[in-house]
């Protein structure tokens, strides 16, 4: 598993040299024709970071993209919260802490640290692997700078249009399942197709101040369908896709089927009217963006199973035309979606054509 080797490289922040190192390794690994698609992105740079508890330096992590200096008592100048049951809820605690005049925030969780992006950078926010008591000193110097990275695209088979199979390579902290493991799945899922071309793309900058910067900038004119692998975790998947692809969900060990999530690399393809799918698993939440997102005993078996399922999906998609997929889509609605940020999903956009007959004005 190449993911085990890539894990040894450490954290690969979006737009960083470490991200490019992973892409360079993959470029040497695959022998097919490839090209680099330039990506204008941001790199997060941490110049200096330390946390002291009662005068002693402790293990900690800095929340992107916060910075600043604070010294004070837990419960007074610095508010501490247990890590919530869903990572996206940290923003609510952040807003509450600001309303209470906090000068710094700590999220704590037994045995692990995380990187979760905060809504803004007004005060420093850190993660600790234990509940803190006493006095804390936080010193954090960090900034975002412009960076040029690239998506790495391989043409596995030429065609008039292409099935795209992709995964991002940047990751927070250990990042094994989000998203190094997906790289192995991509490499193990390559199979022969006859009626369409096949491209593999390894994306830059899925993480970042703006989601999915790499895939957003990727050319889409010749893409028939997009299949994205992101945050896979044994031993099932959330099948998040445009409805024209729902019929193929039975090829996979399912947790659920859902409308396209806006938080992954497939979504810019969805927005261009391309039938698209991301496979992920929110069973990963206990380890999401943490230093404990590490290999486990079920990974090897899951790699074999999920790769075979992706191969079957590629064969099924290869039998179809865009006309076929449009007919499937027409049973549900138009290829227009709006983001539901509250429920972390999408819904059909309501058009004038879908409102039915209107009463004439008197």
Report the pLDDT averaged over residues 156-181. 99
Task: Read off the pLDDT band of 340 (50, 70, 90).
Answer: confident
Same domain, 67 and 37: no
243 in any annotated domain: yes
Q: How many domains does the chain have?
A: 2
The residues, any chain, with a CB within 8 Å of residue 33's CB and separated by 6 or more, are 154, 155
Report the pLDDT value the prediction gives residue 360, as an integer from 0 to 100.
32
Examine the fold and report which residue of 106, 122, 142 is the final residue of a domain before the chain moves on.
142
Task: Find the distance separating the first CA and the last CA of the chain, reported in whole Å.
Answer: 71
Same domain, 73 and 129: yes
Cβ proximity of 261 and 347 under 8 Å: no
- Note the pLDDT tens digit of each residue in 296-313: 999 999 999 999 999 999
347 in any annotated domain: no
Examine the fold and report which residue of 142, 174, 206 is the final residue of a domain before the chain moves on.
142
Same domain, 87 and 176: no
Same domain, 166 and 76: no
Report the pLDDT value the prediction gives residue 351, as an integer from 0 to 100.
57
Q: Provide the whole-model pTM.
A: 0.94
The upper half-sphere exposure of residue 196, i.e. CA atoms within 13 Å in the direction of its Cβ, equals 22
Same domain, 39 and 53: no
Q: Output the average pLDDT for the chain.
A: 95
Report the pLDDT value the prediction gives residue 344, as an integer from 0 to 100.
80
The residues, any chain, with a CB within 8 Å of residue 308's CB and separated by 6 or more, are none
Report the pLDDT averaged over residues 187-204. 98
Same domain, 30 and 54: no
The kind and range of the H/E element at 25 are helix 17-29
348 in any annotated domain: no
Same domain, 304 and 197: yes
Same domain, 120 and 208: no
151 in any annotated domain: yes
Of residues 153 and 337, more confidence is placed in: 153
The kind and range of the H/E element at 144 are strand 135-157
Report the pLDDT averaged over residues 283-308. 98
CB atoms closer than 10 angstroms to residue 288: 21
Whole domain around residue 276: which residue ranges? 2-43+147-340
Examine the fold and report which residue of 142, 177, 199 is the final residue of a domain before the chain moves on.
142
Report the CATH number at residue 168: 3.40.630.10
- Note the pLDDT tens digit of each residue in 31-83: 889 999 999 999 999 999 999 999 999 999 999 999 999 999 999 999 999 99
Same domain, 63 and 195: no
211 in any annotated domain: yes
Same domain, 206 and 277: yes
Q: How far apart are CA 82 and CA 108, in angstroms?
A: 5
């Amino acid at each position: 598993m190449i993911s085990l080797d890539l894990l040894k490289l450490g954290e690969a922040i979006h737009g960083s040299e470490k991200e490019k190192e992973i892409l360079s390794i993959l470029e040497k690994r695959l022998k097919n024709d490839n090209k680099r698609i330039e990506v204008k992105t941001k790199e997060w740079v941490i110049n200096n970071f330390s946390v002291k508890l009662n005068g002693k330096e402790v293990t900690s992590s800095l929340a992107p993209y916060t910075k600043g200096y604070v010294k004070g008592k837990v419960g007074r100048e610095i508010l501490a919260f247990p890590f919530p049951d869903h990572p996206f809820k940290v923003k609510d605690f952040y807003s509450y802490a600001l309303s209470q005049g906090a000068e710094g925030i700590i999220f704590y969780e037994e045995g692990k640290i995380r990187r979760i992006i905060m809504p803004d950078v007004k005060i420093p926010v850190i993660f600790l692997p234990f509940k803190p008591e006493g006095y804390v000193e936080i010193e954090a110097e960090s900034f975002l700078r412009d960076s040029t990275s690239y998506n790495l695209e391989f043409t596995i088979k030429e065609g008039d249009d292409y099935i795209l199979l992709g995964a991002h390579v940047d990751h927070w902290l250990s990042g094994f399942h989000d998203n190094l493991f997906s790289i192995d799945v991509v490499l193990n899922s390559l199979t022969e197709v006859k009626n369409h071309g096949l491209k593999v793309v390894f994306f830059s900058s899925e993480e970042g101040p703006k989601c999915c910067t790499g895939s957003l900038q990727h050319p889409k004119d010749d893409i028939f369908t997009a299949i994205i692998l992101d945050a896979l975790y044994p031993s099932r998947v959330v099948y998040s896709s445009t409805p024209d692809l729902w019929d193929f969900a039975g090829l996979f060990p399912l947790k659920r089927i859902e409308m396209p999530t806006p938080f992954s690399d497939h979504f810019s393809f969805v927005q261009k009217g391309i039938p698209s799918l991301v496979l992920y698993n929110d069973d990963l939440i206990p380890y999401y963006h943490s230093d404990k997102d590490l290999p486990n005993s079920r990974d090897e078996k899951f790699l074999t199973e999920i790769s075979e399922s992706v191969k079957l999906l590629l064969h099924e998609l290869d039998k179809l035309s865009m006309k076929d997929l449009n007919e499937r889509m027409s049973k549900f609605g138009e290829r227009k979606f709006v983001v539901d940020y509250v429920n972390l999903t999408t819904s059909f956009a309501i058009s004038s054509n879908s409102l039915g007959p209107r009463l004439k004005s008197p």
